[in-house]
Amino acid sequence: MIVAHVPLERSYRALLGVPQIGRIIVSGLVARLAQSMVGAAVVLFVLAEYDSPTLAGLVVFASVFPGLLVSPIAGALLDRPGRMRLIMLDYIIAVAALVLIGTLSLAGALPVPLLLLIAIVSSLTAILSHTGLRSLFPIIVPRHLWERVNAVDSNGYLVATILGPPIAAALVALVGGATALIIIGASYGVAVLALIGVEDPRIETASTGRLFVDAWQGMLYTWRNRTLRGLGFSISLFSLAGGTSTIVVPLIVLERLRVGELAVGLVFAMSGLTGMASAFLFGRIDTHRREWMLLVLPMIATAPAVALLLIPASTEDVVLGLAAAALSFAWIGFLHGPMDIALFTIRQRRTDPAWMGRAFAVSMAFNSIGFPVGAALAGLIAAASLEAAVLLGVGACLVAALVAAILIPRREQPGPDPERQKRDKYARPIWIQSADASVDPTGRTLLAAPRLPPRSAPRRAGPA
């Protein structure tokens, strides 16, 4: 009998045919637009209300870093039933935090310690939505559509980057920072509404049944995975540059060039415009065995793009300064397209589905550490020298590229023989619900989810 092999459809239309993916993408886009608006509005709000670059950096740090510390626990929760409820919980807390900050500020009852406390509390759940949505894609989307969904995911951030900062800046200019934060908070409610009725994917994971033990094992799995470890060190260093830009650009535009808040948003939007075209372009290619190159080379090329900010940081010429800042962010945005797709895809390919929630949470938190640290350092350094803060971002890009070239494996490590893995005393076979019907007509695939060995046992490398 001759069996005809029908080519798999790899179009964006095929992606939208995946059940529930449309509502998840819409919710994620709305939430990311809100996050992008918050990133710009909070800095402008603090600079206007407290006139302190240092405090602006600290608020950004407080709104991100504490949540990264609890990422192992968040990942363990996401690997259990109720993933969608946890994502919605984070959105609800974001609404409450922004409305509270805005209301207290309008009432004249928002001292600095209370502002930092609210930022810290709201950050503790942020990893639930960031990781929860990202870890859903490789579970519910067939493998042959991963580049497509990653391009859409990346473009969700880029659309938010295009629209978010200008909208936030316009709101701050029109109604003030406090009222702008209240309005932005309400948009998270729309993201909640889009997820109502979306079912959790059916997937079993390797779990001990104890939350903190699962969280610890997620950290160990991520650390022992060479790819995730290499991504953590390199991307966290690279994100230092993003953190510095969050503080440096508003200071350059508002204090050095003396242009209004809307110009801040437009400069940030340039990276989204070029990044969207880049993401769609690179989303159409097969990134398999090209991920290393698509990560390292853009990091190197980002360094001179960040260095362009030295021009507006050292001149009061408005036209020259804004042109250089816009060119810098357009360049950076174009380079982020291939980087984002390569990053998302390599993490999906080299993570066991049984560990998606924990591994993604720890990995994404590890990758993001540099952003709040860069913002805090930039706030301190920029108070004395804007040029020094820009050079911090340039150095971060170059060091990150070197670390990525050394630590990230160029090729996916071959996995263990399936039959041998079944017999291994540190592995147990479990059924994973799979969205890839090409794997098995029933939609299930048998995987051996690794149990982490006790300390007395010989150390085994986890799947790459």
The span from the CA of 167 to the CA of 173, in Å, is 10
- The answer as to whether 429 is a domain residue is no
Q: What is the CATH number of the domain that holds 193?
A: 1.20.1250.20
Return the structure tokens found at 429: 């076979």
DSSP state letter for 143: G
Provide the residue range defining the domain that includes 260.
Answer: 19-407
Give the count of beta carbons closer than 10 Å to the beta carbon of residue 304: 13
Task: State the pLDDT at residue 203.
Answer: 66
pLDDT in tens, the chain (464 residues): 444 444 566 666 777 778 888 888 888 889 989 988 998 899 899 998 998 888 988 998 999 899 888 989 988 888 777 888 999 999 999 999 999 999 999 999 999 999 999 999 999 998 888 888 777 787 788 877 877 777 777 777 777 877 888 889 889 989 999 999 999 999 899 999 988 888 877 766 666 778 888 889 889 999 999 999 999 999 999 999 989 988 899 999 988 888 888 888 888 888 878 887 887 777 667 777 788 998 999 999 999 999 999 999 888 888 999 999 999 999 998 998 888 888 888 888 888 877 877 888 888 888 889 999 998 999 899 888 889 999 999 999 999 999 999 999 987 654 433 333 433 333 333 333 333 333 332 333 333 334 443 433 333 333 33
Half-sphere exposure of 169 (CA within 13 A, CB side): 22
The span from the CA of 179 to the CA of 182, in Å, is 5
- The answer as to whether 445 is a domain residue is no
Closest CA to 311 of 325, 300, 332: 325
- The answer as to whether 300 is a domain residue is yes
| Cα 431 to Cα 84, 359, 449, distances in angstroms | 21, 19, 9
Task: State the pLDDT at residue 417.
Answer: 37
CA-CA-CA-CA dihedral for 139, 340, 368, 135, to nearest 10: -10
Q: Are 59 and 119 in contact (CB under 8 A)?
A: yes
| Cα 40 to Cα 46, 213, 241, 385, distances in angstroms | 10, 38, 16, 21
In the block, residue with structure tokens 């510390």: 69
| Cα 349 to Cα 180, 255, 371, distances in angstroms | 40, 45, 25
Task: State the pLDDT at residue 450.
Answer: 40
Question: Which stretches within 17-145 are classed as H helix?
Answer: 21-50, 53-69, 71-78, 83-106, 112-123, 126-140
- The answer as to whether 438 is a domain residue is no
Task: State the pLDDT at residue 1.
Answer: 42
CA-CA-CA-CA dihedral for 174, 175, 177, 179, to nearest 10: -150
Closest CA to 226 of 350, 352, 340: 350
- The answer as to whether 26 is a domain residue is yes
- The answer as to whether 390 is a domain residue is yes
Return the structure tokens found at 330: 């357009």
DSSP string, 148-171: HHHHHHHHHHHHHHHHHHHHHHHH
> How many domains does the chain divide into?
1
Task: State the pLDDT at residue 447.
Answer: 38
The span from the CA of 180 to the CA of 305, in Å, is 31
- The answer as to whether 1 is a domain residue is no
Closest CA to 355 of 452, 232, 437, 458: 452
DSSP state letter for 409: -
The span from the CA of 222 to the CA of 217, in Å, is 9
- The answer as to whether 361 is a domain residue is yes
135 three-class SS: helix
The span from the CA of 432 to the CA of 210, in Å, is 20
